[in-house]
Structure 1
Amino acid sequence: MELSFVFLSAWQIYPICIDLSPTAKREVENANTFDAYGWGKTRTANISAILQRVTLDHYDRSRCNRIGRLPLTLNQICAGSSDRDTCDGDSGGPLIQKVNYNGTRHLTQFGIVSYGLKSCEGLGVYTDITSYADWIEEKIEALYPEYSRQPSLAGIANPVSIRPPPETAVFGVENFGRARLLTVPCGTSLSTRIMNGTNAEPEVAAWMARIHYESHFICGGTVIHRRFVLTAAQCLKNRHEATLIVKLGAYDIRGSTLEYGVSKTIIHHEFDREGLINDIGLLLLSRDIEFSLHVYPICIILNPEVKSKVESAYTFDAYGWGKTNESKISNILQKVTLDRYDRSECNKLFEISLPSSQICVGSNVGGSCDGDGGGPLTKKVIVNGLQRQTQFGILSFTTRACSFVGVNTDVTCYVDWIVRKVRGLDDIFS
């Protein structure tokens, strides 16, 4: 929320601290207790006239899974007490701890009151803001760049500071100083099925592909090379090359696009259509793509150690023109930020056993749906000094009801396969 005027810090009003360091997440995981504040419902009144405080124990996430219809993610905190809790009217309030910074203890916010039991009986779920430090910085810097790295006011508390991207070490903008990339340039401008998503930034359409079968839109995909589009194998199964068209450069599908024929479809040799294992495929286009401000490839990192980074990621972004709340197809490219779910939780939801080559993601408020299959799961990472859009997953399947949980093929498990196919066929068709 942006206020209509600027606060001048004084003893009555000053900012709470937000820890932007890479170690903040670990501090949350190791915490024993937190304090929550609010003017919400008490035992004697629907609203408290005086600000209330309650000390809550930090619980394992599994304890809170029984509250909601979806399992808690790594971006949520479970906290409670045997006889006390936050309640109606406390939502949006802080979950805090006193933390020692440079020899001084500061009140620091780690969570936001999200939801709990209707009875307010000692168990609640909180959004873990350490997972969103980059998002907070991005929004504040965009609105008030002059406040970047602002010094503390009167020594009371440090306002949110904007870190220079190269200095950060969290995965959201990971610094891959010597990463090997499939194609260069990629993932950054040459001058950025979705339910409850928002319109994507127009620049991301540069690497998005729309795959059509006999004039019907069937799947999403991504430009990864001047001759290749990456997608899901299920999108290509039993479809002849002559019946496929790839459209590029479309942010709004009602506008003009570049159309490419398909010379060859490549489906992973171990693709299991029933279990959707190894659900990855490539389209060799009939001619080279001319990269420009409006069409260029997304990055594929080839370093094998990237796999471990995917396992520790908290969020990804998904893109597509698929089904929304209002229509079967979205005219404008949609984006939704999704949490990474533990595979054990997704195994329960889908009643299957996900291998390490699949990523399970979801959200309580949005997700992928019909028409988004084959589309990318991405993150912005710093590669060789530049922040780049990088692909880590391909949407494979979701629940029939599009209930905000989906399974993606982990691209990092297939980089060797991608390299073999791209370089082998590129030499032949060049």
Structure 2
Amino acid sequence: MIQTLLICLLVIHVSDYSFAQTCDSCMLLRQCPEALKLASKTDPVAKQRLKEAVCGIKTVDGKRHPMICCNRFITVSERFADTETDIETHENIALLPEKCGSINGDRIIGGFYANLYEFPWMVLISHVIGRHHGKRQTQFQCGGTIINSRYILTAAHCVESKIIAGVRVGEFNINTPEDCQGEYPHYLCESHIQDIAVVKSIPHEDFKILPNVQNDIALLRLKLPIDFSFKNVAPVCLPIFNELRNISLSGKQATVAGWGITEFNRASSVLRKVDIPIKTENECRQYYDRNSDTRTSYNIDKKFCAGETGKDSCRGDSGGPLMLEEEYKDNYRMIQFGVVSHGPQQCGSSTPGVYTDVRQYMKWILDNIEPSPTGVNIVGLKYCKMWLTRVVFFVSVLYWCNAYVKQCSDCKFYRACPEAIHFAAITKDDQIKATKLKSSICGVEIVNGSRIPKICCSDYTLTDERSGVPESTGPKDSIEKKTNVALLPEDCGHIDGGRILGGTLANLYEFPWMALISHESRLRSANNDLYFKCGGTIINSRYILTAAHCVVKKKLYKVRVGELDLSSKEDCQGEYPNYFCEAHIQDIEIEESIPHKEYQHTPSKNDIALIRLKQPIDFGHKNVAPICLPVLSELRNVTLVGKLGTIAGWGKTEEGIKSAPLRKVDIPVLSTSACHEQNPETTPTQFCAGELGKDSCNGDSGGPFMMENKVNRKYKMIQYGIVSYGPKICGTDTPGVYTNVVSYMDWILSNIKP
């Protein structure tokens, strides 16, 4: 009877509110045993807890039943680690930046010295060690990591009972005023460091050293925000998502970095790194129980061990990070899973080091960080500007947020939904945008005092009916099993860390697979220059992928790879001190051209070809590399329609003249029906892409249409299309037509040889 009465009251309660909260465990009250047990109590505290957990109403057999967030009633012992309230919904989660842990494209895998911009979140903590002639003496004795513009994450033993002079960010080589790396023409330098005072040290309240170290974690709040406009400073990512906090670390290879004691027992002036294996709990316990002076077993709670003989973190690295590359918001980023705590007396011995498990302290971290004094997280300013630019229309419908809220399993901020962002970008009618937005709102969250709406991202997901991706002409499961798959390199399509998003000129090393095809009849005798009419892509050391119309009835001469600017002998980019040049191009003679045997010029069909080179491409230079092809079934089954792809080339620009430097543009893929409406003669093995003012043009023929996609847990550039043909007037609202590479994977593999 009491339960029935309480359920009725909850129904009335929900009816009085314009929206309910959202959660991943929203279910009928009767389906949640923990909540049902509480509903049998009569005290006002129980009633209030139930009211606060309401997330909606469901009509069953004509009756309205309340729905509640069941995970609010799970007992503390059942939660992950220390009282895990849902980290992802913590009120301070917005203080951690979304853009974090970017993996630099030039990372030196397995090296000893770090790359100049490889770990921009590394911090040096300066301690006061005494006075000399009345002057304060300081020394860098610990490390840490930037987690947002005002906070540094480090170890508690680095701050407890210590006088902290300040922190330094942006450092690489402690001994030099300017940090330089590389050799001409790839020489780059960085001179900007930031020394910032600390206003507050926050060691964990339960930190202790004896009988063994516990809760060795701390935060430092900075007096001034870090200036993130420099490339050598950026925040690391933390494991805020459930998927990251629940992964098994044992056996994984992780990276530690720092300026600590090296194997030669002296501090390193240059930032160093090492990859080490993470041990199991039993292995860790066994190592330390054998060497323990106490009779009690080593307490591994909220810690883990990592390291092997000759590879370890060491004194001076204390407080620094242990990191792994993991998926974070659909991109692979560097995530900090550990804080260097302590280890064996002999650095680099067979006894592993001990690391504070950051996953176990996420709630503590979020509980102990505060917004900037202005009430706005400095890191977030850039995102706010980007968000407002992309969704100006959002403002006009904010007043709906309290009036209409639907339920869904993927309720998220607009900026976290790529499909919604794309919808806003390609939809010209503001009224349509606003109506769509109104119907997808699922809640509102207060972030830094502002009410930010959330949307059901699935409302913007494109349906299969609109996919416009034709089936492969060969059996889907046969492509990966073809013998010639081994001729396509796995090391392909690397996404350069310095990519200029949304720009018009390409970065120097952004598209190293781009090729230029010259014709013998176009050879200029005056200065022996080559005349390039078509483009193509490197798919392995001997083959170029291009369009059939670029090779049929043409006298081909050479292929050039490694080019950026046709007007200069040396390709240079950047400004001092980040100025670098590339002078090495490769002009290679053609052994054979292989157009599709069923190629037809008018109307265009099977517009695809391969070029076999006389000599293999020398991949020892950074400006040449192969692109990835959609070999894997998951890549061939990707829905292209509505997604933005990238085209690049040296073709005609919007002014109608050839571009000397390599150019690029991002364009959307159209649906099959829209494509056929504009180009009635298109076939299922083609697709359309482009919009007003953005298109490929003659001179780009044979070049690639590319998309970033995941290959073996890393995001790489995949070629999905070949520029085939388009409207006579470049850049009109008539889209260009592309040969769909997915449809020809079997043909490509059947026509290449070692």
TM over 0.5: yes
Task: Note the C-alpha offset of 1:98.
Answer: 4.5
Look up the match of 2:558: 245
From 200, 206, 224, the equivalent of 2:539 is: 224
Task: Note the C-alpha offset of 1:184.
Answer: 2.6
Q: Is the 8 A contact 2:706 2:720 kept in 1?
A: yes
Task: Note the C-alpha offset of 1:332.
Answer: 1.1
From 189, 206, 219, the equivalent of 2:512 is: 206
Distance 2:531 2:720 in 1: 27
Look up the match of 1:396: 724
Look up the match of 2:462: none
Look up the match of 1:275: 603
From 367, 372, 376, the equivalent of 2:704 is: 376
From 410, 414, 421, the equivalent of 2:740 is: 410
Look up the match of 1:336: 665
Per-residue Cα deviation, 1:299-323 (whole angstroms, up to 9, x for no partner): 1131345332144561211111111
Relative to structure 1, the CA distance from residue 327 to residue 53 in structure 2 (aligned partners, 3 Å threshold; closer, same or farther) is same
Q: Is the 8 A contact 1:222 1:375 kept in 2?
A: yes
Distance 1:206 1:307 in 2: 23
Distance 1:345 1:306 in 2: 23
Task: Note the C-alpha offset of 1:97.
Answer: 7.2
Matched, 1:308 2:637: yes
Look up the match of 2:582: none
Look up the match of 2:457: none
Q: Is the 8 A contact 2:647 2:696 kept in 1?
A: yes
Look up the match of 1:346: 675
Q: Whose radius of gyration is greater, 1 or 2?
A: 2
Distance 2:495 2:533 in 1: 27
The 5-angstrom pairing of residues 56-135 of structure 1 reads 98=405, 110=420, 112=424, 115-116=428-429, 123-124=431-432
Look up the match of 2:258: none
Per-residue Cα deviation, 1:271-308 (whole angstroms, up to 9, x for no partner): 11112111000111110111031111001131345332
Matched to 2:629, the amino acid is I
Q: Which moved more, 1:183-192 or 1:276-285?
A: 183-192
Distance 1:200 1:252 in 2: 10
Task: Note the C-alpha offset of 1:211.
Answer: 0.8
Matched to 1:255, the amino acid is S
Relative to structure 1, the CA distance from residue 301 to residue 128 in structure 2 (aligned partners, 3 Å threshold; closer, same or farther) is farther
Look up the match of 1:359: 687
Task: Note the C-alpha offset of 1:264.
Answer: 0.4
Matched to 2:558, the amino acid is I
Distance 1:107 1:245 in 2: 51
Q: Is the 8 A contact 1:98 1:106 kept in 2?
A: no
Relative to structure 1, the CA distance from residue 220 to residue 98 in structure 2 (aligned partners, 3 Å threshold; closer, same or farther) is farther
Matched-pair identity in %: 27
Q: Is the 8 A contact 1:280 1:409 kept in 2?
A: yes
Q: Is the 8 A contact 2:495 2:717 kept in 1?
A: no
Task: Note the C-alpha offset of 1:204.
Answer: 2.8
TM-score, reference length from structure 1: 0.60
From 564, 567, 576, the equivalent of 1:254 is: 567
State the SS of the aligned residue for 1:200.
coil
Matched to 1:298, the amino acid is I
Distance 1:106 1:7 in 2: 27
Look up the match of 2:195: none
Relative to structure 1, the CA distance from residue 296 to residue 159 in structure 2 (aligned partners, 3 Å threshold; closer, same or farther) is farther
Task: Note the C-alpha offset of 1:372.
Answer: 0.9
Look up the match of 2:300: none
Relative to structure 1, the CA distance from residue 245 to residue 156 in structure 2 (aligned partners, 3 Å threshold; closer, same or farther) is same
The 5-angstrom pairing of residues 144-183 of structure 1 reads 153=447, 182-183=488-489
Matched to 1:370, the amino acid is N
Relative to structure 1, the CA distance from residue 128 to residue 299 in structure 2 (aligned partners, 3 Å threshold; closer, same or farther) is farther
Distance 1:97 1:294 in 2: 53
Matched, 1:184 2:499: no
Task: Note the C-alpha offset of 1:116.
Answer: 3.8
Q: Is the 8 A contact 1:206 1:297 kept in 2?
A: yes
Task: Note the C-alpha offset of 1:54.
Answer: 7.6
Relative to structure 1, the CA distance from residue 382 to residue 311 in structure 2 (aligned partners, 3 Å threshold; closer, same or farther) is closer
State the SS of the aligned residue for 2:744.
helix
Q: Is the 8 A contact 1:205 1:251 kept in 2?
A: no
Matched to 2:489, the amino acid is T
Q: Is the 8 A contact 1:310 1:392 kept in 2?
A: no
Relative to structure 1, the CA distance from residue 106 to residue 301 in structure 2 (aligned partners, 3 Å threshold; closer, same or farther) is closer
Q: Is the 8 A contact 1:205 1:333 kept in 2?
A: no
Per-residue Cα deviation, 1:157-207 (whole angstroms, up to 9, x for no partner): 6899xxxxxxxxxx9xxxxxxx87722311117998xxx971122213411
Aligned residues, how many? 301
Per-residue Cα deviation, 1:114-165 (whole angstroms, up to 9, x for no partner): 6449xxxxx5457999xxxxxxxxxxxxxxxxxxxxx9856976899xxxxx
Relative to structure 1, the CA distance from residue 8 to residue 127 in structure 2 (aligned partners, 3 Å threshold; closer, same or farther) is farther
Task: Note the C-alpha offset of 1:416.
Answer: 1.3
Matched to 1:364, the amino acid is L
Relative to structure 1, the CA distance from residue 355 to residue 8 in structure 2 (aligned partners, 3 Å threshold; closer, same or farther) is farther
Relative to structure 1, the CA distance from residue 154 to residue 282 in structure 2 (aligned partners, 3 Å threshold; closer, same or farther) is same
Distance 1:305 1:384 in 2: 11
TM-score, reference length from structure 2: 0.35
Task: Note the C-alpha offset of 1:370.
Answer: 1.5
Q: Is the 8 A contact 2:649 2:664 kept in 1?
A: yes
Matched to 1:419, the amino acid is L
Look up the match of 1:318: 647
Gaps of 5+ in 2: 1-227, 230-371, 385-392, 438-444, 455-466, 468-479, 523-529, 570-584
State the SS of the aligned residue for 1:206.
coil
Q: Is the 8 A contact 1:245 1:260 kept in 2?
A: yes
Matched, 1:386 2:386: no
Distance 1:367 1:303 in 2: 28
Q: Is the 8 A contact 1:205 1:250 kept in 2?
A: no
Which one has more relative contact order, counting CA pairs under 8 Å at least 6 apart?
Answer: 1
Relative to structure 1, the CA distance from residue 127 to residue 235 in structure 2 (aligned partners, 3 Å threshold; closer, same or farther) is farther
Task: Note the C-alpha offset of 1:101.
Answer: 8.4
Relative to structure 1, the CA distance from residue 97 to residue 408 in structure 2 (aligned partners, 3 Å threshold; closer, same or farther) is farther
Task: Note the C-alpha offset of 1:251.
Answer: 1.2
Gaps of 5+ in 1: 19-34, 39-51, 56-93, 118-122, 130-150, 161-170, 172-178
